[in-house]
Amino acid sequence: MSRQRKTVVSVVGARPQFIKLAPLAPVLDQRFRHRIIHSGQHYDYELSQAFFGQLRIPAPDIKLKVGSGSHGRQTGQILERSETALIKMKPDMVLVYGDTNTTLAAALAAAKLHLPVGHVEAGLRSFRVDMPEEINRTLTDHLSALLFYPTAAARDNLRREGITRGLTASGDLMYELLASVRPSLPEYAAVLNHFGLEKEKYILVTMHRVENADDPDRLRLFIDIARSIKEPILFLAHPRTIGNLRRHKLLGKLRAVPNLILGRPQPYFETLALAGHARAIMTDSGGLQKEACFLGRPCLTLRPETEWVETVTSGANTLVDLSPAKIHRALRRPPQRRARLSAAVGGRLPSRLITAAIERYLRR
C-alpha cells in the first residue's frame, strides 16, 4: 500500500501572494495534498479572481471572506477563521507568503495549533517598526520552522535576529513566474491602447501603502507632484487609495490633473505589459519594485526605504519618497537598467527548492 501523501496548506489573501503561489502550487501538487485557504483580504475582481483565472491557480478549498477593515479587526478575523479551517484540514505544514495581515494571522493560528509554518519570502526588513508589513514579516519569521529567504541580505537579517535553523536559499518565486510568462507579454500590449498610451512615453504609478494612502497631506503632495510632471501618467489606483482620496475630498483634484489617467488595478499580464513599456515606474509596492527591475524598467520608489535593497544597490531603483526634487532629478536621469537576471539558485528553480525543503522537513 502506498504511503498517504502529506498535506500542505497555503494561506493567501492578497495580490502579491497569488503571484508567489502561482509557480509553486503545481509543484506542491505533485508531491503533497496541497490545499489553499483564501482569506479574502483582497476581494475585488482585479486583485483576486483575475489572478486565479489568468495564472491558473487552483480554486481555494476554503474562503474565509474577511474583507477590508482596520488592521486589528482584519488580523483578528483571519486568525479566528484560519484556526477553524486548519483544525478541520489537519495539515502537516502551513505555508504563508510575504508580509500581509493574512501572513501573520495564519502563521499565528498555525503556531498555536503546533503546526509547522513555512514562510515564503522570509528575512526582508525595511527597519521601520511603524510599518504594518515590517511587523507582520518579523513576527512571522520568529514563528516559522522553515524560512525561505530570497536574497543574501534577507539571510543576514535572519541571522542577526538569532534565526539560524530552517533556512533555505529559495530565490524569488515572483521572478520565476515572470520569467516563465515573459514570452507571452507582447500579446497583452493592447492594454496600452485601452489607456491611449504609447510605448516608452508614459510613467506608470501605483501607491497603496498606509503611510502614503492614509495620509491626506501626502495625498495632496502626490497630486502636486503629478501636476508638475508634464508627460502622461497612468495611475493604477488601489480601491483603498481611491476611498481615502474620496473621503478627504481629493479625488476631484486628482482627476483634474491634465496629464494623469486614473485607472483601476489590472490583471497580472496587463500590469506587466504596462510596466514593461513604461518609461519609468513610480511605486510604493515591493512587488512592482522587483518586477520593474526584472523587466529592465527604471523604478522610483515612493518611500524613504525598501526591503528590496538589491534593487537599489544594482542601480535599478531610486528611493525618492514623495520628494519633488528627488522625483524630478530621477526622471531626468533615470537609474540604469539592471542586467538580465536568473530565477534559479544553483541551477534549481525556487518552486523546486521550496518543495524539496518541505519534503526533507516532513520526512524527519
Catalytic machinery residues:
208
Is the separation of the CB atoms in 155 and 149 below 8 Å? yes
Residue 288 pairs in a beta bridge with: none
C-alpha distances (whole Å) from 168 to each of 2, 56, 145, 150, 165 are 29, 27, 11, 9, 9
Q: Cell digits for 306?
A: 525598501
What is the rounded CA–CA span in Å between residue 141 and residue 180?
A: 28
Residue 2 burial (CB < 10 Å; 0-12/13-18/19+)? Answer: exposed
Position 134, amino acid: E
Q: Among 95, 159, 94, 93, which residue's Cα sits nearest to residue 123?
A: 159
E strand map for the chain = 7-12, 33-38, 62-63, 93-97, 117-120, 146-149, 167-169, 203-206, 233-236, 260-263, 280-283, 299-301, 317-319
Residue 263 pairs in a beta bridge with: 236
Residue 197 sits at the vertex; the CA angle it makes with 196 and 200, to the nearest 5 degrees, is 175
Helix (H) or strand (E) run with residue 81 in it: helix 71-89
